[in-house]
Amino acid sequence: MHALGTHLLVELRDCNPRIIKDLEMVKNALVSAAKEAKATIVDISFHEFNPFGISGMVVIAESHLSIHTWPEYSYAAVDIFTCGDVIKPEVAASFLIKLFESRNP
């Protein structure tokens, strides 16, 4: 069967907790990762939990990037799904690994 897209599930361990608990930093990181991968952004939605943790989604014409953070564990789970041959999900994943300072992706 021919795959219609590429799906990456990225577990980022040992992240900088200060970064992954900051709503604006996480939101800007996912938007920037989508742009780095040459995706077309359609919609953006993020939610900050109390006392901490963030869930968010960047909907792209080619599918989506989503994230859930657990700053208390220095952990973030990222889901990147892209369709087509133009978008490079690996670029988005590498960008987030570096930006969140994950020492154990």
- Clarify whether 83 is annotated catalytic: yes
Count CA within 13 A, CB hemisphere, residue 47.
Answer: 4
pTM: 0.92
Q: Which candidate in 32, 64, 66, 68 is catalytic?
A: 68
74 is catalytic: no
Which pLDDT tens digit goes with each residue over 40-75? 999 999 999 999 999 999 999 999 999 999 999 999
Q: Which of 63, 66, 74, 94 is an active site residue?
A: 63
- As to burial, measured by CB atoms within 10 angstroms (0-12 exposed, 13-18 middle, 19+ buried), residue 32 is middle
pLDDT at 3: 74
* Mean pLDDT, residues 83-88 taken together: 86
Q: How confident is the model at residue 105 (pLDDT cuts 50, 70, 90)?
A: low
87/51 Cα distance (integer angstroms): 35
Select which of 32, 55, 66, 83 is catalytic. 83
Q: Is 68 a catalytic residue?
A: yes
